Amino acid sequence: MKTVSVLFFATLRDHMGGKQVTLRLPDEAGVARLKAELKALKPTAAAAIDNALVSINRDYAFDDDFIPDGAEVALFPHVSGG
């Protein structure tokens, strides 16, 4: 198992009820697994989590990207512009 810190920004803080959580994940877990764990913790935030932009150690990441042990993962709400 690995431990990761997950930071929430903007409206995701409101959805998740705080600015940070620490999660234990299986060694092989990636972004998709992390999102699944977060949705299990806070089902009412599922849509926001599904649409969030994710970074791992300050680099943008996608659902199939691996998360290393001790990583800092950040979730940002999707923003549309015009």
> Quick check: is 82 in a domain?
no
* DSSP code string of 8-53: E-THHHHHHTSSEEEEEE-TT-BHHHHHHHHHHH-GGGHHHHHT-E
**Residue 54 domain flag:** yes
Angle, CA of 7, 9 and 11, to the nearest 5°? 130
d(C-alpha 32, C-alpha 48), whole Å: 14
Q: Which domain holds residue 44?
A: 2-76
Q: Assess whether pLDDT exceeds 60 at residue 82.
A: no
pTM over 0.85: yes
Q: Work out how many domains the chain is built from and give that number.
A: 1
pLDDT digits (tens, 9 = 90+) for 18-76: 999 999 999 999 999 999 999 999 999 999 999 999 999 999 999 999 999 999 999 99
6 domain residue, yes or no: yes
Q: Which CATH number belongs to the domain containing residue 37 in this structure?
A: 3.10.20.30
pLDDT of residue 6: 98
Whole-angstrom distance, CA of residue 10 vs CA of residue 24: 24
CA-based nearest residue to 5, from 80, 69, 79, 76: 69
